[in-house]
Amino acid sequence: MPRNAPPPLNPARCVLGIECGATHSVAVLGDPDGGETARGEFAAANLRLLSDAALKRHLRRIAARFPGAMAVGIGMAGVRTDADRERLRRLATDVWPRESLWVGNDLETALAAAPTSRARVSVLVLSGTGSCCFGRSQAGESVKAGGWGHVLGDRGSGHAIGLAALRVVLEILDRQGTWPELGARLLRALAMNEPGELVDWSVHAAKPEIAALAVEVFQGVATGDRLCRGLLSEAAAALVTDAQACARQLAGPDEPVQFVLAGGCLLRCPYLARQVKRGLLAARSGAEVRILEEEGARGAMKLAVAGAGAPGEIPTPTRRRSRQNVPSPDPVQLPEATGLPPTEERNPRSMNLDRMSLRAAVGLMLAEEDRVSAALAAVRVPIERTVRIVARALQQGGRLFYVGAGTSGRLGVLDASECPPTFRADPAMVQGIIAGGQRALWAAVEGAEDDFAAGAEAMGFRRIGAKDVVMGIAASGRTRFVWGALQAAREVGAATVLLCFNPNLRHPAALRPTVRICPDTGPELLTGSTRLKAGTATKRVLNIITTLAMVRLGKVAGNLMVDLNPSNRKLRERAVRIVRELTGAGEEAARMALTRQGWVVKQALQELGRCG
């Protein structure tokens, strides 16, 4: 038998557990009772850092090494949302099409590997290069604290300890003129001769390089260094605080909780582990504190067995709703599609697009775009109603939110970004939200549009209220991210608008938006490419809504922008022309009035006395 081949197991009982993390991946093959096993290590894998193709290759390498499992559990770093789970499930199903699947993140698998406890709630306290606390109840509710990355705060992590060590030794040098023993340790570890060398190094140092300095703090504690003990006490306090925050959200004040300590810092530094344990026991009576001795791949095996069912089935935890002013709708609800969206049908006029002459193809595209006007004219009434609703909301201190994915989301962000310079509007007055966040503005974010909960949570974090208007933009009319946002907005009394290009939708009363704008632009010239006619129509509808709403707010006189923000030379020249047009003043007088009024056009008009 080849040296690395797994031992023969009963295929009917084989379970494969996989844990993929930032440094490496581990796979364990065995039976559900944890008996005979084979183990292998593979390259690191993070869902958010790998393409679909790269991730599938990674999983296929593992599958080739460990064939014959009846169930597979995968815990992977980077799995944060329901859309992330769905993406991993989809790719894993291609690799294991007949096996039962459980997929999730590496925090869940680590916690599942913890010893069995009578406590209803368990909290993983993880401190390695980064840090995070993750709690889960037996009912499946989960909550997380920390894990924001080293820039925003991996509290109590190796990186945080290493960085704190660097800062404190330099602070002592500045304020006391002495160089502590810890400073000497750090210079030795970095092969440096004097503190000045730290400046250039720190600018380019990677997260693991700074985290590696925590080892010098651990060793300093072993020699009785009080400075090192203070640093570790601070790290322990941060971990205890985050762990208790998880426990409070899942368990009552007197309910026992199991805390599980994991990660390189807690496993390699007994002093830090003791400090954390002491803090947890002092903060919660009846608590259990244990060290995680099993690796996360074993937890993935347990979850695979617990979730055994149909191929591709993924039992997932129930996330705690964020404590914002908008609830997260549950369960997922979408309007019913009674037919294929027109944008997904084949356009009979472009069947031979790939064989057309360039002149004919350009002419056809222009002709197709001409059809947009007629489609929009047919939905003029709901557009007018939307303008009235938006104008009234803005007059009363409300805001307009565009919510979309892909092209729809980008167009919403574009229209929102034009309002401050064009109408001197507060940037908060009109806002664009795109599935996948900032990165999705220029690149596709896998699965973002399918995350219903993320759409709802975005409403909470923007603090949507009853005065606001939320406009969902979705060519098909069934984008899950958009409907998560619309449903959450509806639950707090905000007005809702749906702009879509699919007349084949049936909305039950519980899902019916305040206004539905549904122009039928027909099949796209390139089948399914909604950046074409649907994109053109979207841009025009959004232009109408914000322009006419701002007109009703008094930001336009005639057809002139009397409330523009002259933030550059071109706009200042425009402001001068507007003031001259409306007052009859000469160029110098208009410019001087604008200068005195801080380039606020309305105030300059008031000073000069508008005459038309």
d(CA 342, CA 35): 56
Q: Give the pairing of strands 288-291 and 336-337.
A: unpaired
- Is residue 270 within 8 Å of 82, Cβ to Cβ? no
Structure tokens at 132: 């995070």
Cβ neighbours of residue 162 under 8 Å, at least 6 residues apart?
210, 211, 212, 213, 214, 217
d(CA 134, CA 242): 9
pLDDT of residue 469: 98
Average pLDDT over residues 560-564: 88
Residue 508 has pLDDT above 60, yes or no: yes
Strands of 320-408, DSSP E? 336-337, 400-404
Structure confidence by residue, pLDDT tens digits, 239-254: 999 999 999 999 998 8
Average pLDDT over residues 189-208: 92
Residue 294 has pLDDT above 90, yes or no: no
CA distances from 83 to 2, 45, 80, 104, 307 (A): 39, 18, 8, 11, 19
Amino acid at position 396, single letter: Q
Altogether, the residues listed in the chain come to a count of 612
Q: Give the pairing of strands 121-127 and 131-137.
A: antiparallel
Structure tokens at 98: 């007949």
Which entry of 449, 457, 524, 607 is annotated as an active-site residue?
449
Structure confidence by residue, pLDDT tens digits, 124-139: 999 999 899 999 998 8
Residue 322 has pLDDT above 70, yes or no: no
Average pLDDT over residues 87-103: 93
Closest residue by Cα to residue 467 from 399, 555, 515 = 399
Set out the domains of the chain in order of their start, with CATH numbers: 15-113+297-318 (3.30.420.40), 118-291 (3.30.420.40), 336-552 (3.40.50.10490), 562-608 (1.10.8)
What are the phi and psi torsion angles at 199 (to 5°)? -65, -55
Which entry of 288, 294, 384, 418 is annotated as an active-site residue?
418
What are the phi and psi torsion angles at 511 (to 5°)? -110, 0
pLDDT of residue 609: 82
Structure confidence by residue, pLDDT tens digits, 372-395: 999 999 999 999 999 999 999 999
Structure confidence by residue, pLDDT tens digits, 341-374: 999 999 999 999 999 999 999 999 999 999 999 9
d(CA 292, CA 109): 12
Q: What is the DSSP letter of 33?
A: T
Q: Is 449 a catalytic residue?
A: yes
Using a 10 angstrom Cβ sphere, with 0-12 exposed, 13-18 middle and 19 or more buried, the burial of residue 290 is: middle
Amino acid at position 441, single letter: L
d(CA 520, CA 97): 39
Q: Is 197 a catalytic residue?
A: no
Reduced to 3 states, what is the DSSP secondary structure of residue 142? strand
What are the phi and psi torsion angles at 10 (to 5°)? -70, 110
Residue 447 has pLDDT above 50, yes or no: yes
Structure confidence by residue, pLDDT tens digits, 261-284: 999 999 999 999 999 999 999 999
Amino acid at position 114, single letter: A
- Is residue 445 within 8 Å of 436, Cβ to Cβ? yes
Structure confidence by residue, pLDDT tens digits, 25-34: 999 998 877 6
What are the phi and psi torsion angles at 287 (to 5°)? -70, 150
Question: DSSP secondary structure string, 485-496?
Answer: HHHHHHHTT-EE
CA distances from 355 to 359, 497, 526 (A): 12, 41, 13
Amino acid at position 164, single letter: A
pLDDT band of 323, cuts 50, 70, 90: low
Cβ neighbours of residue 233 under 8 Å, at least 6 residues apart?
275
Considering only CA atoms, give the Rg of the chain.
Answer: 30
Residue 46, by phi and psi: left (phi above 0), alpha (psi -120 to 50) or beta? beta
Reduced to 3 states, what is the DSSP secondary structure of residue 334? coil
Closest residue by Cα to residue 4 from 57, 55, 61 = 61
- Is residue 200 within 8 Å of 179, Cβ to Cβ? no
Reduced to 3 states, what is the DSSP secondary structure of residue 104? strand
d(CA 485, CA 108): 27
> Could you identify the residue written with the tokens 């923007």?
462
Average pLDDT over residues 210-222: 95
Structure tokens at 15: 């379970």
Beta bridge partners of 559: none
What are the phi and psi torsion angles at 495 (to 5°)? -70, 145
Residue 314 has pLDDT above 50, yes or no: no
pLDDT of residue 325: 60
pLDDT of residue 319: 52
CA angle 46, 51, 57 (to 5 degrees): 85
Helix axes 601-608, 569-583, angle to 10 degrees: 30
Average pLDDT over residues 433-453: 87
User: Can the peptide bond before residue 311 be classed as cis, meaning omega within 30 degrees of 0?
Assistant: no
Closest residue by Cα to residue 22 from 102, 82, 63, 79 = 79
Cβ neighbours of residue 592 under 8 Å, at least 6 residues apart?
none
In this structure, what is the dihedral angle of CA atoms 593, 595, 597, 599, given to the nearest 10 degrees? 110
Residue 447 CB neighbours (<10 A): 23
Helix axes 452-461, 82-95, angle to 10 degrees: 160
Average pLDDT over residues 570-597: 91
Residue 68, by phi and psi: left (phi above 0), alpha (psi -120 to 50) or beta? left
Cβ neighbours of residue 245 under 8 Å, at least 6 residues apart?
133, 145
- Please state the pTM of the whole predicted model: 0.75
User: Can the peptide bond before residue 2 be classed as cis, meaning omega within 30 degrees of 0?
Assistant: no
Comparing 386-390, 487-491, 509-513, the range with the smallest average pLDDT is 509-513
Using a 10 angstrom Cβ sphere, with 0-12 exposed, 13-18 middle and 19 or more buried, the burial of residue 408 is: buried
Cβ neighbours of residue 184 under 8 Å, at least 6 residues apart?
none
